[in-house]
Chains A and B, each alone.
Chain A
Amino acid sequence: GAVVSQHPSRVICKSGTSVKIECRSLDFQATTMFWYRQFPKQSLMLMATSNEGSKATYEQGVEKDKFLINHASLTLSTLTVTSAHPEDSSFYICSASAAGQKETQYFGPGTRLLVL
């Protein structure tokens, strides 16, 4: 149980285009989802927290207009990187937690984004 999937697993795009990454909880309802980014050989940095049906809360230094997060249902959250630039190339990982179990996050397999 508690499986989280991400799609796509890797994506290459041209500079200036937008990329959407999906995060799905497959066997539980995720009241809260989190988005992280991870640079090579570094730790995960929390970008934003989203609760189903409400606006995402962004961490300091994360541009909300550049990283659009939508959490429209209890099983799906999307991260859209708008007008992507090479410096946005990174590993993006989502996680999800269920109601009543908010201290436990279940992580997706990650999406590797390469912006050319």
Chain B
Amino acid sequence: SQQGEEDPQALSIQEGENATMNCSYKTSINNLQWYRQNSGRGLVHLILIRSNEREKHSGRLRVTLDTSKKSSSLLITASRAADTASYFCATEWDYKLSFGAGTTVTVRA
């Protein structure tokens, strides 16, 4: 079942700017993952942060996790036109993923 809510629903930024999106969830998690989906395509795994971790980096991506607030954020630094996509958070529990509603990011050249 879908339990994550993402904010904002849509984001439009200029190339080179940073993009931040947030995810909130309701139940227990083992980890939280972020995925990217280009229009009409499958999902690409971006990063996984475990419930005992607070921050994680991967290239231009920075993810934070606050289990006390049941929230996570994804920051994309120095955005590029190729970053235009929908981004989903997904919480994992019992090896099942529950996806958030997604944030659509548009990066303007």
Q: Which A residues lie at the B interface, using CB under 8 A? A: 4, 6, 32, 34, 42-46, 49, 59-60, 91, 93, 95, 97, 102-110, 112
Given A42-B101, A43-B2, A45-B2, residue A107 in contact with residue B42 (CB < 8 A): yes
Which chain B positions have C-beta within 8 A of A32?
95
Query: Once the chains are docked, how many angstroms separate the CA of A97 from the CA of B96?
Result: 11
Which residues of chain B have a CB within 8 Å of any CB of chain A?
A: 1-2, 4, 30-31, 35, 40-45, 48, 88, 92, 95-102
What chain B residues lie within 8 Å of A43 (beta carbons)?
2, 4, 88, 99-102
Cβ-defined contact, B95 with A106, below 8 A = no
A103 touches B2 (CB 8 A): no
Q: In the complex, A74 Cα to B21 Cα: how many Å? A: 37
Are A112 and B40 in contact, with the CB atoms below 8 A?
yes
B102's closest neighbor in chain A, by CB? A43
In contact, B95 and A103 (Cβ under 8 angstroms): yes
Q: Are A44 and B88 in contact (CB under 8 A)?
A: yes
In the bound complex, what is the Cα–Cα distance between A64 and B28 (angstroms)? 27
**Which residues of B are found within 8 Å of A105, using beta-carbon distances?**
45, 97
Pick the residue among A6, A44, A104, A110 that contacts B40 (CB under 8 A). A110
Residue of A nearest to B44 (CB): A107
Contact A103 B30 (CB under 8 A): yes
Q: Which residues of B contact A97 (CB under 8 A)?
A: 95
CA separation between A105 and B99, bound complex, in Å? 13
Q: 5 A-B residue contacts at CB 8 Å?
A: A46-B1, A46-B96, A104-B45, A107-B35, A112-B40
A46-B102 in contact (CB<8A): no
**Cβ B45 vs Cβ A59 within 8 A:** no
The reply to whether A59 and B43 contact each other, CB–CB distance below 8 Å, is no
CB–CB A93/B42 < 8 A: yes
Q: Is the CB of A59 within 8 A of B1?
A: yes
